[in-house]
Amino acid sequence: MASGLSSPHILLFYEDILPPSIDVEKEVKGTTLRVYLCIVANGPIRMRDIQRGLGFSTPSLAYYHVEKLIKLGLVEEDEDGLYRASRVVELSILKPYIVFGGRLIPRLVFYAVFFTSFLTSYVILSWGDLNIYTVAVAMIAAAAFWYETVRAWRYKPF
């Protein structure tokens, strides 16, 4: 081979390294999930910042959960003592959310904003010739998406 690699299968994925008996979905929940989200959202972060950010009474509690994440291959520590996500996993409990601007927000907020903007623009631009059915459908859609967005935010699992 021209590149000097002896095998075309040189790349390993974490799924290949972790034993098949470890189910990341079952291991990352509760406080461990909160610690993982803190690391993913804030990027490289120190242990003390994790402790303070999540309101833990001692750094050892944060350390326990970070070590659990390291063993699962989700977090790594660099030479400066900063912790970062080594891989981002799709947890089913987080599918309705996205990371936007370092914050975890419900996906439905974009639809709510779209329908609200559409309704506002339509009313402003068509004030003299409004179609009541268009206004009604846009109002119902905007209200439904805002309701579901607030509901997802209020009952978030973390």
Q: Is 17 a residue whose pLDDT tops 60?
A: no
Q: Is 8 a residue whose pLDDT tops 80?
A: no
Contact assessment for residue 39 and residue 83, using Cβ atoms and an 8 Å cutoff? yes
- Cα–Cα distance for residue pair 122/117, rounded to 1 Å: 8
What is this structure's pTM? 0.61
pLDDT in tens, 33-76: 889 888 887 879 999 999 998 999 988 999 999 999 999 888 99
Query: What is the pLDDT, as a whole number, of residue 100?
Result: 76
Helix (H) or strand (E) holding 77: strand 75-77
pLDDT in tens, 78-136: 999 899 988 777 788 888 888 777 677 899 999 999 999 999 999 999 999 999 999 99
Tell me yes or no: is domain 19-95 CATH 1.10.10.10: yes
